[in-house]
Structure 1
């Protein structure tokens, strides 16, 4: 029996886990696979091995693992594969197919455009947009965020846009945020984050503090359950399911 295991990042914040589960429940309803389970890479339960165990107990002999991640970095290339290796040692007769992250897609940039439209301010020449990525030591992360910034600038008709990161990469958000407050009359912070969490909370705190000092600053919402996000992951799941079927035919 074929099954899908959704591996979300995880967070210490209860709301983040709830948002991820709500989102993935929507995806599950649109994917033609009767057996599936949700787990978390870190900071929340169940973990990956527990998720695989539950699927095996329910009769799964082919498992498609879907990384619920925006970009391909350390979690995708190292952490989840490490968990897969442990599972393969425990369940040598189980076939495991590993899916792809969402990666850079124009329809996800369209979500950012929609998030900007939700803000109670106009995108005029006085505004500077800070596109904020999580950050990673993997070299593709910076390239991806810069590509997204270029697309967002064009689609959102933005004159001033800069990229920055919350960890691992420079420039860091606190530095770029302070510089933007000093050089522009309006600053708009756009997080490239899927769900809420401690990182989004830190951005919100910075924006609130700046507003209290009299700055015109706005924080866009995270990507969350926008229809484009749901469809993007549904497509990734279907691609991985097709890949698993093809691999099985080759083995036979």
Structure 2
């Protein structure tokens, strides 16, 4: 029996976990597979091993492991495979396939443009736009975020969009935000390239609230969330993983 294991990042924030689970329920409706399970990389249960155990107990004979990740980084290349490998040894009769993160997609750039518009704030011609990525040690992450920023700049018709990162990449969020403030623009739009809410979004909002003034307005846009295009994008990755005939080398 075919099953799908969704591997989400994990958060201590209850709202984030609930948001992730509700999102996966929407994806389930677009994927014609009887067995689904959502697990988390860190901080909360079930973890990957527990998710696989649950599917095995329900009779799964094939499991498509689908990373609920925006970009390819250490979690995709190392952390998820390392954990799945342990279960592969315990369940040699189960066939495992591996999906891909969403990657750089035009429809995700469209969501970012919508999030800018949804602020309801009329954008001044000289407004600064700062795209904020999660970050990672891989140069692939920075290339991808820079590519997204370039696509968004074309979409919203501005000369350029600066980028910064919340962890492990430079410039940091604090550095990027300070550079935007130093530009002297009366408006700064901060666009988070994040899937769900959580401590990172809350910390960004707190920082912005402390720095925004009447003379220099800083606006935090919404995160990607459960936009219908996000649901479609992940469902597409699930279908690709289900159709993958090649066993990954764990």
Superposition TM-score, scaled by structure 1 size: 0.95
Judge conservation of contact 1:123–1:158 (CA < 8 Å) in 2. no
Which structure carries more helix by proportion?
A: 1
Cα shift at 1:158: 2.3
Partner of 1:192: 193
Within 5 A, what are the aligned runs for 1:13-162?
13-162=13-162
Cα shift at 1:182: 2.4
Judge conservation of contact 2:39–2:45 (CA < 8 Å) in 1. yes
Cα shift at 1:212: 5.3
Q: Structure 1: how far apart are the matches of 2:243 and 2:127?
A: 45
Q: Structure 1: how far apart are the matches of 2:37 and 2:213?
A: 44
Q: Structure 2: how far apart are the matches of 1:186 and 1:214?
A: 9
Q: Structure 1: how far apart are the matches of 2:220 and 2:201?
A: 10
Which 5+ residue runs of structure 1 have no aligned equivalent? none
Relative to structure 2, which stretch is displaced further, 129-138 or 179-188?
179-188
Judge conservation of contact 2:150–2:160 (CA < 8 Å) in 1. no
- The Cα RMSD (Å) is 1.3
Which 5+ residue runs of structure 2 have no aligned equivalent? none
Q: Structure 2: how far apart are the matches of 1:149 and 1:53?
A: 40
**What is the DSSP-based 3-state SS (H/G/I as helix, E as strand, rest coil) of the residue aligned with 1:49?**
helix
Judge conservation of contact 2:124–2:187 (CA < 8 Å) in 1. no
Relative to structure 2, which stretch is displaced further, 64-73 or 113-122?
113-122
Q: Structure 1: how far apart are the matches of 2:93 and 2:111?
A: 41
The size of the alignment, in residue pairs, is 246
**What is the DSSP-based 3-state SS (H/G/I as helix, E as strand, rest coil) of the residue aligned with 2:182?**
helix
Partner of 1:236: 237
**What is the DSSP-based 3-state SS (H/G/I as helix, E as strand, rest coil) of the residue aligned with 2:205?**
helix
Structure 1 position 175 matched with structure 2 position 175: yes
Q: Structure 2: how far apart are the matches of 1:157 and 1:122?
A: 14
Q: Give CA deviations for 1:78-122 in whole Å, capped at 9, x if unaligned.
A: 000001111111111111101111011000100001100101212
Judge conservation of contact 1:129–1:162 (CA < 8 Å) in 2. yes
Cα shift at 1:160: 4.3
Cα shift at 1:210: 1.4
Superposition TM-score, scaled by structure 2 size: 0.95
Judge conservation of contact 1:125–1:160 (CA < 8 Å) in 2. no
**What is the DSSP-based 3-state SS (H/G/I as helix, E as strand, rest coil) of the residue aligned with 1:190?**
strand
**What is the DSSP-based 3-state SS (H/G/I as helix, E as strand, rest coil) of the residue aligned with 1:63?**
strand
Cα shift at 1:6: 0.5
Judge conservation of contact 1:2–1:35 (CA < 8 Å) in 2. yes
Cα shift at 1:213: 7.3
